[in-house]
Structure 1
Amino acid sequence: MFEHIGWIVEAKIKEGRREEFAAIVSEIVAETRKDGPVIVALNPGSLLASKMVKEGFGIAGNDLRIGAEIIHKAALSDEFSGASGKYFDNDIGAFGMLHADAQNAGTCQSVITAIEAALAKLKN
């Protein structure tokens, strides 16, 4: 049923840094998973009607179904089948450009190191 998707991850990151983070992770994924499952960095939509938006911004937010629909589409449609390592921005309804840091091996390694350190803390 989910033949086109390996993981779908949404990271809550400072505004303006989301694309950078997604691009770095996407590049790593593209290089390490060429023959594996499709892994796409996905922004389901900004200011969706979550508790965080309501409490943090004091607004009702946009319909949560916006995010659910794009995640469903990413998991089941052929549109995403060749998109491994890319970043999909649902705010613009299209795949976005990779950030230059995504092509910087040192930056990519720093992200991997940080993720591994965070995982190690969770295991202890």
Structure 2
Amino acid sequence: MKTWQALCLAVGLYGALFIATAEEEERNKNGQLVLHNCNNDSYVLEKEHWNNISAFPADCRYYCNRSSDAPQIWYGYYKEYTPCTNSTDVLDEEGHIKYGICITSGATGKRTWKCDLTQRPTVE
């Protein structure tokens, strides 16, 4: 009986491990696989560029491999509190670009990066 219990436990643990490691694939409109694979997540937008809103990263991502013929597109994340824009909610009611800061969020149960438009950056 103990052998069956151990076998069932092993199968259950393997299944849980498989589910935990399986992530949904992200693909862009060209069908290219988009992976978090840049080696330098310490990259930060230098403060001298913080006044240039057009330089703010969308959704706190930077790309280290983004050629149109690459089978995979690689990205990394800017540091927390870097000024950013949001690719899905860019303009306010008056047509001005909305901007915020990069933050991490654990609301979904998994640590994710996002551009929080409710927190304005210290742009001078």
Task: Specify the TM-score bucket, using the shorter chain as the normaliser.
Answer: under 0.3
Decide which structure has greater strand share. Answer: 2
Return the structure number with greater relative CO, CA threshold 8 A, min gap 6: 1
* Greater Rg by CA: 2
**TM-score, scaled to structure 2:** 0.24
Q: More helix per residue: 1 or 2?
A: 1
